[in-house]
Structure 1
Amino acid sequence: MKKVKLKGTKIEITPIGIGVMQFSWGQRMFKMMGSGDVNEDTRNGIIKAAFAGGVNWFDTAEAYSSSEKYLASALKANGIKDKDVIIADKWMPMARTATHLKKSIEKRLTALDGFTIDIHQIHAPISFSSIKAQMNTMADLVESEKIRSIGVSNFSKNQMIKAHEALEERGLQLVSNQVKYSLLHRRIEKNGVLDAAKELGIKIISYSPLHQGVLTGCYHNNPDLKKNVSFMKRKMYPNVEKQVRRTETLMQAIKEIATKHNVKASQVSLNWLINYSKDTVVAIPGASKINHVVENVSAMTFELTKNEIAELDELSRPLNRMK
């Protein structure tokens, strides 16, 4: 399976990883969102299917309740060793200073039960401390071998550059910026984040790459599914009905391309994402069902043609108010 190298490190990851926030579904916070329980057998099956499909990395976070612990347990249940997997974790900086990073890291490592934090990310630019202070503390963690590399999440262009420059002073590379990015959410192409990432060798990790299921075509194929979207999800991801209506032309093109390649619409959407900006963008679709993982990881088994990539680019631009 093809892998992309994180600049300044020996770490190589597949173009698609798996986000495991869903591993905490069923716990109180996630029940409020109307999410069903992802039980132990399902978690183990998700990891098994991901590895069978060639995926070598998983994204979790301190903020995702017991997700770290459940990920470690599922990896062990499948006989997967630390040397064979890449784990991306995140520190939640809300109402905290950079000094908390060193206190938090031991809890993160305990939860991961022997697995290394290969990429440690600042979950959002909301710490009480400056970006430079956070990066210096992260650099200390690398130097003390608590983590292997440093990333950020939800950082703007200028915030990302500040983080990069602070690490550069320590002889380290900012390896990633995890942001929302999909055919229906191309803001990073307009606000300078993507261009700056390309210039500085920073990988973009795309979360919500299927736009909460809209780009799978499930709501287009079965409109009744929209009735099952929970109240909390409607608040967090509004206008599902509107998104379906406005994407009819794009989804029809995605389906036609999928038929040509004998794949699913979700796989076409993911393949566009990882091939439109070659080697700069990787994606972490989430999965609460094993068949979702099988579909998602199979997006790495084919490649859209240049014309197909251009067609989807052109059709999605008006939906993103792009020229």
Structure 2
Amino acid sequence: MGCSQFSGGGAGTFWPALPQPEVDAIIKAALDGGISWFDTAEGYGAGRSERSLAAGLSRAGKTPGDVTVSTKWTPLGRTARSIERTIGDRTTNLAPFPVDLHQIHTGYGSLSSIRAQMRAMAHLVDAGQIRSVGVSNFSARQMKIAHKELAKHGIPLAGNQVQINLLHRKIETNGVLETARELGITLIAYVPLRSGMLTGKLHANPSLVATLPRMRRTMTGISAESLDRTAPLIDELRKIADAHQATIGQIALAWLITYYGDTVVATPGASKPHHAEEAAKAMQITLSDEDTGRLADLSTTVIR
């Protein structure tokens, strides 16, 4: 489960503020549904998401080792030295849970090279301060650089977190999917439901678009035009969902974790407990090759 929604709200964010009791309920629903990996970041509310996640996991009775926790370092305007200088903030915010996966949040904006960033991450692994290394929003070329540098230290590049969903399939054409499979790197799909567009709720009630934070609408392209254009895909998702006694969002998630095989995992967010419960149930759905192929073909006709 992605945890950017625990960032505390405020101007320029995707999500409204969530009180801690609501966060606790969301985390408990996710755990009850079988979700055991939670992904956050330094940049999600300047550490607020990390602290809320740790508090929620603790209140749910979880202890270190019960769950997997990943976070990210923000590279913008910083050098690789910052990775080691700020790891104490990450571990303090997430205490008592360790950093199982530490990721570079983006491939651009750092004052240091990717090689230097990977060396800093390797130092943290060697010191036992993190368990594994990942990246986010890295191109195929950047993945290869990071993988090669980590290999010098005997450390694999565990994952690259990028946007993947039925309305965003650039990994298939920009070399990221091919590189991930070649090097054994997991792709971690963020916004797997395209910020709500692939749930069908906005299509059923377009007036909800106006209630979404402006940044969320702008960055994900949610508009009346995009709802009209993607309606055929939503209609097909609904047909398959009815056949499986599932929701549209569950089918969209099931497609994502089926179509790309073991290479792709999904990190759906949840701003309400029932969102987490619904997402978890997607793991129980088995789509046929015909279903996944039909959705894949249709999605190519509505992606812009």
Normalised by the shorter chain, which TM-score bucket? over 0.9
Instruction: Decide which of 259, 262, 266 is 1:283's aligned counterpart.
Output: 266
What is residue 82 of structure 1 aligned with on the other side? 64
What is residue 53 of structure 1 aligned with on the other side? 33
Instruction: Decide which of 86, 97, 116 is 1:104's aligned counterpart.
Output: 86
Shift of 1:24: 1.9
- Alpha-carbon spacing, 1:108–1:33, altered in 2? closer, same or farther (3 Å): closer
Shift of 1:249: 1.1
Are 2:105 and 1:123 equivalent residues in the alignment? yes
> 227-236 vs 146-155, which deviates more?
227-236
Matched-pair contact (CA < 8 Å) for 2:209–2:222: no
* Structure 1 letter corresponding to 2:166: L
Shift of 1:239: 4.2
Q: Percent identity?
A: 45
**Secondary structure in 1 matching 2:82:** helix
Shift of 1:33: 3.8
Residues matched between the structures, number: 301
- 5 Å matches for 1:158-237? 158-237=141-220
What is residue 157 of structure 1 aligned with on the other side? 140
Matched-pair contact (CA < 8 Å) for 1:25–1:31: no
- d(CA) in 1 for partners of 2:14, 2:99: 30
Matched-pair contact (CA < 8 Å) for 1:181–1:208: yes
Matched-pair contact (CA < 8 Å) for 1:152–1:178: yes
- d(CA) in 2 for partners of 1:139, 1:36: 36
Shift of 1:32: 4.2
Instruction: Decide which of 136, 146, 160 is 2:119's aligned counterpart.
Output: 136
- d(CA) in 2 for partners of 1:227, 1:201: 42
What is residue 93 of structure 1 aligned with on the other side? 75
Instruction: Decide which of 270, 274, 280 is 2:257's aligned counterpart.
Output: 274
Shift of 1:199: 1.1
Instruction: Decide which of 105, 111, 114 is 2:96's aligned counterpart.
Output: 114
Matched-pair contact (CA < 8 Å) for 2:161–2:190: yes
- Alpha-carbon spacing, 1:33–1:83, altered in 2? closer, same or farther (3 Å): closer
Shift of 1:95: 0.6
**Secondary structure in 2 matching 1:209:** coil
* Structure 2 letter corresponding to 1:294: E
Matched-pair contact (CA < 8 Å) for 2:164–2:191: yes
TM-score normalised by length of structure 1 = 0.90
TM-score normalised by length of structure 2 = 0.96
Which ranges of structure 2 fall in alignment gaps of 5 or more residues?
A: none
Matched-pair contact (CA < 8 Å) for 1:187–1:320: no
Are 2:229 and 1:249 equivalent residues in the alignment? no
**Secondary structure in 2 matching 1:88:** strand
**Secondary structure in 2 matching 1:258:** helix
- d(CA) in 2 for partners of 1:244, 1:222: 10
